[in-house]
Structure 1
């Protein structure tokens, strides 16, 4: 049986492992980006991948709590966000209990650089909100997750040309928004 958006919930309830594969293929980028955004200070210790795995486990174990009148994608996003926040709290607690003698202190330049990166990321996400949902997903997969166009096309069940066309049109639309002449007030 082929898993799709119409039967993924029922297949998860039946504990079909292929349904979890479908979740990874379809919503993996969303889950990963939410977790990575929340745990941006803790990326180097493998906590992002560990948290993503815990999100998938939570979806698997708690599918019975999903109500059909909710949006499945939003439900997955909420689980991802709350799991990432839990991880963040846990990691901060561990950091607070560490021996200060063995810690590496970041220079002010590094902190400023990280803040600038987060600010740039937030501005980019705000800019991408001008695109349609599927175009935004393609942009995130291509330019944030560095996925090849062929892989994106395969995951979205479209041709590679469709992905490349959407990227091209999206870039043109974003250019128009970015370089829009400022309106003159008189």
Structure 2
């Protein structure tokens, strides 16, 4: 079925049209969504996002204007918009979890430490956290998961669909960068 016919049927809300739309554009929507969510989304997140894309296409079909572009472009833009919105939501959620774990860390265990030492510890802690925030992705995420959230390397490997040696190498390079930037052993 041509796009023009599909649009007419979608606007008329003909039964079964959403199935045709799904069959025609599922592979593309899934591929783009998976690429956009690669670092943050699970397989379930990708599948849910694809469903949201088709729901958005169904609801917003009246906004399609053939004078402004092709239906293909409309589908691509809607896919990108919905996937990027979910990615931002997942990023905020991950950052809140990381921030919560950092706040829970009690880096000063010795109560008899002087106020001056506590200030220097806090400055050092801030420098370390600032240096970690400068890491590129996925290094930053791996570092937070491993050293702040105590994830096993196997769990990180499974979550990001990578290899143990890749995660080990990235963590090693992160520790080297911290040692170089901060001037002391951190982890």
Shift of 1:17: 3.6
Shift of 1:48: 0.3
Corresponding residue of 2:151: 104
1:52 paired with 2:86, answer: no
Larger Cα Rg: Structure 1 or Structure 2?
2
Q: Give the TM-score of the pair, scaled to structure 1.
A: 0.53
Conserved? CA contact 1:42–1:48, under 8 Å: no
Corresponding residue of 2:159: none
Distance 1:56 1:29 in 2: 12
Q: Which runs of 5+ in 2 are unaligned?
A: 102-147, 157-163, 171-187
Distance 2:150 2:15 in 1: 42
Residues 112, 83 of structure 1: alpha-carbon distance in 2 compared, 3 angstrom cutoff: farther
Shift of 1:44: 2.5
Q: Give the TM-score of the pair, scaled to structure 2.
A: 0.52
Residues 65, 21 of structure 1: alpha-carbon distance in 2 compared, 3 angstrom cutoff: same
Corresponding residue of 1:84: 83
Q: Which runs of 5+ in 1 are unaligned?
A: 114-186
Conserved? CA contact 2:41–2:90, under 8 Å: no
1:3-22 correspondence to structure 2 within 5 Å: 4-22=2-20
Distance 2:34 2:90 in 1: 14
27-36 or 12-21, which deviates more: 12-21
Aligned Cα root-mean-square deviation (Å): 2.5
94-103 or 37-46, which deviates more: 94-103
Number of residue pairs aligned between Structure 1 and Structure 2: 111
What secondary structure, in the 3-state scheme, does the structure 2 residue paired with 1:40 have? coil
